[in-house]
Structure 1
Amino acid sequence: MERTTSSPAIEGQSIARFAARPGQGGGEVVVARSALGTPIGTLWLYGAPRGLLAIVLPNESREDAEDGLRRRLTRSGTRVVTFVDDPGPLREAMAQLEEYFAGQRRKFVLALEPIGTPFQRRVWQAVAAIPFGETRTYAEMARAVGRPGAARAVVAANGANPLPLVIPCHRVIGSGGSLTGYGGGIALKARLLAWERGELSAW
């Protein structure tokens, strides 16, 4: 897929509208899921009424991801989790991801409901603020969340990010510019960064 210049790219950093109290609905939560074909492979998206819950990258196990999502929702107070194949609630997220891969979008404006600890959510908020085409080191992110010296904890929180691409954890790198672990694989991380720097004309 080639970059298109037919419409101006939406500039800037992502605007992540995080749910204030993720997963605190109690009772039953119906999670919509849908597949999205992209230049990097098939993504699986998951969403609840208050926002996008998870994105599963092509080389990740959908079954493991759903088991993990079910456990996180249960720990947060939900008694029953039901997955349904329904692209309707996910159409806006799918459209924005398609625009990203077409070179027409540089930020995501979506309601998000990532489930994690307060520290993880602080890290994810900070990661969502890294502008398109830029990177930050783990040490810089530790300072950004008020925990200088906690780079290892930031590494762990970054690795637990349930919304890759939308919360762009691929933009966090090691000291000296090293590309450390990424759920989608180091090759994909390098390709995403090259795409965002304008070094690729096509996927």
Structure 2
Amino acid sequence: MKSNLSKNIFLPAIFGLFFYLFITLGANANLISQSKILNILGISLGVLGLYGIVIGMLKNNTNLAIGLAGFNIGRFLFGFIIPIVVSVYKFYFYIPSDHYNSILEKENIEFTVDFKECHKIKYGTFIVQNYDTIIRYNENNKDYEIVKTFDSQTTNRIKWLDSCSYLRFNESNGLASEYLRLGNFEGRTHYLYSKPSSSHKLSDEKIEMVIEVKTNSKLK
């Protein structure tokens, strides 16, 4: 008898709590819309909550009052207890991850440009530290770049933004694919910083040493 009584009280309260969670997730739909898991969770909680309310009301009107109590318990937990727990966690245990705007900032690299030196190597042939070859040239008043690797070769349009930085365009769609910048000159070597022109991860950025092989002074 006692076990049945606890079950009759416990289940409606749980369904009421589920329904409150469903409403809370629905009110913050803009925050969970990007998460497939949270979307499925919200739908599941809504189904369970509504199922419990309907079935409970058909069986016993008292269940509605108990479910409302569970709803209020959920409101109390999320409105009072959980914010306290979150505050304690953030204050005593949470260690924020470092946010960097670029790999240069993350690795504390000082990237110095020299517009005079950049202008000297605007066109020519260069070896990148991973053994790729870059050839920049001008043809019919348009700038191009050939990138040679061990097993492939690609040619792309480029557009200089200033003497030390340029955009590389994807020939298949004509959209800018990468941003590149020259700097940190040391004799016949310099460094090339590159990153995708669209949203990306820091792991997609690179800084590589480049060795000058031959420059084309006629195009300067």
Smaller-chain TM-score range? Answer: under 0.3
From the two aligned structures, give the one with the greater strand fraction.
Answer: 2
From the two aligned structures, give the one with the greater helix fraction.
Answer: 2
Q: Which has the higher contact order (CA 8 A, sep 6+)?
A: 1
Q: Find the structure with the greater CA-based Rg.
A: 2
Q: TM-score w.r.t. structure 2 length?
A: 0.22
Q: TM-score w.r.t. structure 1 length?
A: 0.23
